[in-house]
Amino acid sequence: MGRKSLAPTTMLFPTPVVLLTCVDERGKPNIITLAWVGVVNSEPPMIGVSIRPSRYSHGCVSRAREFVVNLPTAEMVRKVDACGILSGKETDKFASLGWKPVPAEKVSPPLIDECPVQMECKVKEKISLGSHDLFLGEIVALHVKEEIQKEKGRIDIAKALPFVYCPGAHEYWDLGKSIGHYGFTKGKP
C-alpha cells in the first residue's frame, strides 16, 4: 500500500485533553478545553499550553500570568467537549457544567474538583507562534486525588481514566491498556 502526501498540518496524535482554569481581571474564573499541551521541561517542571489569541482565556492567562491544568476523566468527555464550545466571556462554565471550583494553593485560578489531577502553573514565558501563543508554565503545585494513586505517588491510569484527542480524525479516544513500562527493554537489543 502506498502513501499519499497531504498538506502540512498538525497530525501529531494523540494529544492530551486538559481543562485549563484561569481568572479574568475581576477574579472571575474561566475554563478552556485544550489539546495543544505538553511537557516541556523536567527541572523545573514545566508545561507548554497553546491558546489562540482570539480566545477569551488567552487574555486571562496573559494578564494574570498563571493558570491551572486540570486532567479530566473519560467519564467527563461530554462536558469537556461542551466546555470547548461555550465562551467564557458569556458563560459561567463552572455553573453551566456543574463543576465545583476549589481554591488553589499558590495561584488565583481554581482547581476543578471533579478532575483527579491538577497542576498549578505560573507563566515563565509567552511565545507568539502564529495561530497560537505558547505559554510556558512552571508547575508550582501538584494535586492528585488519593484514589488514583499507587505506591510512591505513581498514578493508576486505569483509575485516572485520562483520554486523548486525535487532531487528524477530530475524535476523542480513551487509552485502552498498558503495553509496557519505561525501561522494560533494558538489556535487550
Q: What confidence tens digit (pLDDT) does each residue in 114-162 have? A: 999 999 999 999 999 999 999 999 999 999 999 999 988 899 999 999 9
In this prediction, residue 183 carries a pLDDT of 87
Residues in the chain: 189
In this prediction, residue 35 carries a pLDDT of 96
HSE (side-chain half, CA atoms, 13 Å) at 99: 27
Q: What is the pLDDT along the chain (189 residues), one digit of tens a residue?
A: 899 998 888 888 999 999 999 999 999 999 999 999 999 999 999 999 999 999 999 999 999 999 999 999 999 999 999 999 998 888 999 999 999 999 999 999 999 999 999 999 999 999 999 999 999 999 999 999 999 999 888 999 999 999 999 998 899 999 988 888 888 888 665
Residue pair 164/176 in contact by the 8 Å Cβ criterion: no
In this prediction, residue 189 carries a pLDDT of 58
CB atoms within 10 A of CB 134: 16
Compute φ and ψ for 37, nearest 5 degrees: -145, 145
What is this structure's pTM? 0.94
Domains detected in the chain: 15-174 (2.30.110.10)
Beta bridge partners of 123: 137
Which residue has 499558590 as its cell numbers? 106
Position 172, amino acid: Y
Which among 91, 93, 112 has a CA at the least distance from the CA of 101? 112
In this prediction, residue 1 carries a pLDDT of 83
Q: Is 134 helix (H, G, I), strand (E, B) or coil?
A: strand
In this prediction, residue 188 carries a pLDDT of 64
Burial class (CB in 10 A: 0-12, 13-18, 19+), 49: buried
